[in-house]
């Protein structure tokens, strides 16, 4: 990733230095969402400020941990402090720098598609911050889940957060669902890019799924959904275990 494309990393770095930042997430239908400092601030927040669903899911962490899309490292740093062996990976070079500045010992710049057993074997894979979305689309998700099966121990777990796309009444989102169905996609299959100041990421796919859709994606990959946390809000964390 070129520095000019690292919008996410630059907003994290500026927020770490105490600056107010504004994140713009743009969707391919022209819709965009503007998040002021409160959003990026959460990326650097401490345990006491996390959602109940995250805190409950963290009880299921065990063994060696891989934090996929670790961002500013809030989860990885917390677990490291609890004595876990944690590797944080992110596609953003500046996000990884922020992790290092904040004290995360083990990091790697890598995209989700670059992960394999070459970087190690893990007991827990983390995909917090709605990072189940990093799978991008169902086909790639199944391919990656099978790869994750080979780079994890016998009783490994994935703790993955997603957002149920159907828990909305916003006309802009409902219209996008319709557009996606016409295009042969899942309603929650997004094409996005992130803007911050003069930095712009490339367009990328991101995937929001219901619990039923998550189960459908897991089918045939060697993984199963065993429990979820967060029933009222659109966001939920899934505990996914090997079959």
Structure confidence at residue 42 (pLDDT):
83
- Give the closest residue to 10 by CA, choosing from 162, 211, 198, 233: 198
Structure confidence at residue 36 (pLDDT):
76
Structure confidence at residue 38 (pLDDT):
59
The yes-or-no verdict on residue 50 having pLDDT over 70 is yes
User: Strand pairing partners for 86?
Assistant: 65
Q: Calculate mean pLDDT across residues 51-65.
A: 97
pTM, rounded to two decimals:
0.95
Taking only the tens place, the pLDDT of each residue in 200-242 is: 999 999 999 999 999 999 999 999 999 999 978 899 999 999 9
Domain that includes residue 43, residue range: 3-242
Q: How would residue 162 be classed by pLDDT, with cut points 50, 70 and 90?
A: very high
- Give the closest residue to 136 by CA, choosing from 239, 209, 235: 209
Structure confidence at residue 40 (pLDDT):
65
Taking only the tens place, the pLDDT of each residue in 18-47 is: 998 998 999 999 999 998 765 667 889 999
Q: What is the mean pLDDT of the chain?
A: 95
Taking only the tens place, the pLDDT of each residue in 66-114 is: 999 999 999 999 999 999 999 999 999 999 999 999 999 999 999 999 9
Q: Which two tokens stand for residue 203?
A: 């367009």
Q: Give ∠ CA 51-36-68 in degrees, rounded to 5.
A: 50
Taking only the tens place, the pLDDT of each residue in 164-202 is: 999 999 999 999 999 999 999 999 999 999 999 999 999
Percent of the chain with pLDDT over 90: 92
Scan for tokens 């601030």, then name that residue.
41
C-alpha span between 164 and 25 (Å, rounded): 18
Structure confidence at residue 116 (pLDDT):
94
Query: Mind giving me the DSSP string for 34-69?
Result: EE-THHHHHHT--GGGS-HHHHHHGGG--SSEEEET
Q: Domain of 62: which CATH number? A: 3.40.50.150
Taking only the tens place, the pLDDT of each residue in 110-145 is: 999 999 999 999 999 999 999 999 999 999 999 999
Structure confidence at residue 1 (pLDDT):
86
C-alpha span between 108 and 59 (Å, rounded): 25
Contact 153, 123 (CB under 8 A): yes
Longest dimension (CA), the chain: 49
Give the chain's domain count.
1
Structure confidence at residue 41 (pLDDT):
75
């Amino acid at each position: 990733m070129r520095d000019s494309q690292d919008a996410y990393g630059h907003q994290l770095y500026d927020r770490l230095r105490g600056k107010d930042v504004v994140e713009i997430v743009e969707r391919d239908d022209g819709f965009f969402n503007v998040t002021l400092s409160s959003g990026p601030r959460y990326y650097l927040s401490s345990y006491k400020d996390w959602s109940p669903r995250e805190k409950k899911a963290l009880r299921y962490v065990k063994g060696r941990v891989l934090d996929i899309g670790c961002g500013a490292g809030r989860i990885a740093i917390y677990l490291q402090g609890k004595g876990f062996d944690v590797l944080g990976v992110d596609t953003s070079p500046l996000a990884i720098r922020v992790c290092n500045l904040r004290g995360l010992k083990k990091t790697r710049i890598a995209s989700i598609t670059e992960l394999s057993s070459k970087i190690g074997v893990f007991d827990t894979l983390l995909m917090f911050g709605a990072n189940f979305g990093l799978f991008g689309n169902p086909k790639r998700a199944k391919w990656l889940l099978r790869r994750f099966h080979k780079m994890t121990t016998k009783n490994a777990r994935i703790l993955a957060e997603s957002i149920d796309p159907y828990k909305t009444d916003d006309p802009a989102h409902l219209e996008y669902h319709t557009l996606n169905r016409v295009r042969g996609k899942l309603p929650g299959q997004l094409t996005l890019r992130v803007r911050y100041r003069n930095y712009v990421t490339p367009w990328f796919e991101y995937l929001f799924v219901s619990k039923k859709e998550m189960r459908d994606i897991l089918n045939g990959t060697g993984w199963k959904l065993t429990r979820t946390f967060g029933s009222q809000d659109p966001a939920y964390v899934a505990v996914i275990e090997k079959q």
